[in-house]
Structure 1
Amino acid sequence: MVLPCICRAKCLISSQLVLRNINALKSLFNYLTQETENKDGECYFYRNVFSKIKVTKEKVTANSRAKKISSVVLSDNEIDEFLHFVKFEYEKYLTTRQKSVFLRDKERDIAIISMLLGSGIRVSEIANLLIHDINFKKEQIDIIRKGNKEDTVLVLPSALAALEDYLKIRTERYKTATSMHYVFVTKYQGIAQPISVRAIQNLVGKYTKAFNSQGNALNSGKGLSPHKFRHTFASEWIRTGGNLVLLRDQLGHSSIETTTKYTNLSAAEGKKVIDKMDESRK
């Protein structure tokens, strides 16, 4: 009985992997035929040989999709516990050298995590955030979306407070030049450089792995990512009664259909509705 389930899971993973590879090649050839230029100012290729390859997306119900998202989002308590761990517990498990590096980056890392959880923006958008993009008074930031589109989003005041704490030590700690306009930086060979998307992904993974290793039950021991923080923000928005259209704008979705996947997140809420319906019929 177990074997067919295992085979089905393997086939599903394989088909998803093939689909991702095809889409990656489509994007690559689109880039080579549309955007790149050789020394003569011509694109490297004249035809996208992958453009005619048709792929069939797997059909997934809203409930199934919501269940998958629910398994990776943090509850309110988990958010508080995770941030508390990074702020006060993590350094206790480090060597002297590791602790030195952590203390240098502590305010920065807490600000990054808080901003991701407090705005729902993408990891690329936080990596490319500039100093003049921040408006503390209006509690919002200007960002560059996919397709190089400019947008403005709101940020939780608590996340902006963490950002302010980081900005207070940024210049002295990282020796940033006045020409360095990127908000989040790192030190490479003693010089301040913009932090990369991969570096942000790695630091999030590092803290969640450490959090789980200390016996915490964060998502059954699964690691998190900046994108899962995005899911967490969106699900919390819906749970607290947030408007779906405003959430679409906050997340930068091009279609409301993409945003609706967050409306089916809570199985517990669904159970409450069923119980109330049953009670009314008695």
Structure 2
Amino acid sequence: MENYNSKLNELIKEMPFYVKDYYRSKRASAYSLSTLYRYLLEYRRFFQWLIDNRLIKARKIEEITLSDLEKLPKKDIEAFLMRFREELFTKNPNNDHQSTLQRALASLKGLYRYLADESEDENGNSYIERNVMSRVNLKKKEKTLAYRAAHLEDRLFLGTETNDFLKFVKEDYHKSLSKRQEVSFNKNKERDLAILSLFLASGLRISELDSVDMDNFNIENLTMRVWRKEGLFDSVSIAPFAKPYLENYLSIRKSRYPTPEDVEPLFLAWYAKKSARISNATISKIVNKYSAAFKIRVTPHMLRHTLATRLYQVTSSQLVVSHQLGHSSTQATDLYTHITNTELKDALNKL
């Protein structure tokens, strides 16, 4: 939370007054800090593009006026999205980047919707009347749940693979390392195993895991309190198989990552000769490297999908899965019913 607050404070300084108003409004609505941070990054990208391409008179982001945004033609916004797509494709030509573009557009639509419908000036009027963003859309990739499930299934560690994966990291991963690499691995081994096991035993999002503090973590009851994506504080249960890995990490946490008494993060890393809260980027690298060595490179979100699928296999309850994942409804868990659905295959085998 402190880390996001610091980053947000720096970003918000660059913004025009109406973005600051939007930010305050969403903070009051309990938007998560990680979500607001991503939104502000998208606004900075869009505003800087307008300046660089001289589509407005302003030379600094904070100088961009409401009139500048209101008068933007649709073609300029489409040009921004096309250029952004080109930049993404140049960095990674093997991905169509549609979801990244959708997120960027969604954040901009949210800002324009606030300015046109939710804001209020001293006269009680909205900041702008013309919402050009409402006319801009990206075609969504249309895929059935069955297609998504089939694509996802190979990236999950189902059945015994969850424990096999953790055992591989604990006992076999080091065999392929150089002596120098093995020194680094041994220094962080307990921490890395604790992180992997916690993902697989709880289904946390990466932003939820890295924000857990010591006083919100109960190893005896195998529970923890986290800030959910929607800005809600939630209590999350942990599957018992993760307990030995978490206990091993806690036993070396203070000696391996020495910190002052007031340092609260559960997971730490050694940065610039001192311990600090582990970053999202470091957590992603941990998951990437171990999963690639074991089976296939996956993201932390794939480990969340693994927990959800395994939990549905055991309970056949979308309500239980949605509660564990922190969803407000069971609609988001429909995907897991397709991954575990064997009835169709059994029927086809009988033909």
Residue in structure 2 matching 1:156, options 220, 232, 239: 239
Secondary structure of 1:27's counterpart equals: helix
Is the aligned partner of 1:249 residue 2:332? no
Please report how far the alpha carbon of residue 176 of structure 1 lies from its aligned counterpart in structure 2 after TM superposition.
1.7
User: Contact conserved, 1:19 with 1:55, CA < 8 A, in 2?
Assistant: no
Q: How does 1:218-257 map to 2 (within 5 A)?
A: 218=295, 222-257=296-331
Letter in 1 for 2:207: S
TM-score for the superposition, normalised by structure 2: 0.64
Say what the alpha-carbon RMSD is for the aligned residues. Answer: 2.8
Deviates more, 1:49-58 or 1:64-73: 49-58
* SS of 1:202 mapped into structure 2: helix
Partner Cα separation in structure 1 for residue 147 and residue 278 of structure 2: 35
Cα contact 1:114–1:162 (8 A) shared by 2 = yes
Distance (Å, rounded) in 2 between the aligned partners of 1:167 and 1:126: 15
**d(CA) in 1 for partners of 2:333, 2:181:** 40
1:28: how far off? 5.5
Selected match of 1:259 from 330, 333, 341: 333
- Distance in 2, matches of 1:115 and 1:29, equals 35
Structure 1 Cα separation of the partners of residues 172 and 213 of structure 2: 30
Q: What is the rounded CA distance, in whole Å, between the counterparts of 2:290 and 2:95 in structure 1?
A: 31
Return 5+ residue gaps in structure 1 as ranges: 1-9, 36-45, 212-217
Q: State the Cα deviation string for residues 192-216 of structure 1 (Å, max 9, x = none).
A: 01111111111111112222xxxxx
Partners of 2:163 and 2:143 in 1: CA distance:
32
What amino acid is the match of 1:258?
A
* Alpha-carbon distance between aligned partners in 2 of 1:237 and 1:19, rounded to the nearest angstrom: 27
- Alignment pair present for 1:182 and 2:262: no
Q: Which has the larger radius of gyration?
A: 2
Q: Corresponding residue for 1:172?
A: 255
2:107 is aligned to 27
Residues matched between the structures, number: 247
Which structure has more relative contact order (CA 8 Å, sep 6+)? It is 1
CA deviations on 1:7-27 (whole Å, 9 max, x unpaired) are xxx9xx999524532431442
Code of the aligned partner of 1:238? Y
Conservation of the 8 A alpha-carbon contact between 2:108 and 2:133 = no
Sequence identity (%): 33
CA distance in 2, matches of 1:269, 1:104: 47
- Contact map agreement 2:112 2:133 (CA 8 A) in 1: no
- Please point out which of 165, 181, 184 is paired with 1:82: 165
Measure how far apart 1:274 and its partner are.
Answer: 5.2
Query: In structure 2, what residue type is equivalent to 1:240?
Result: V
Q: Distance in 2 between matches of 1:15 and 1:266?
A: 27
For residues 312 and 332 of structure 2, what CA distance do their matches in structure 1 show? 14
1:272 pairs with 2:350 = no
Q: Which amino acid aligns with 1:193?
A: A
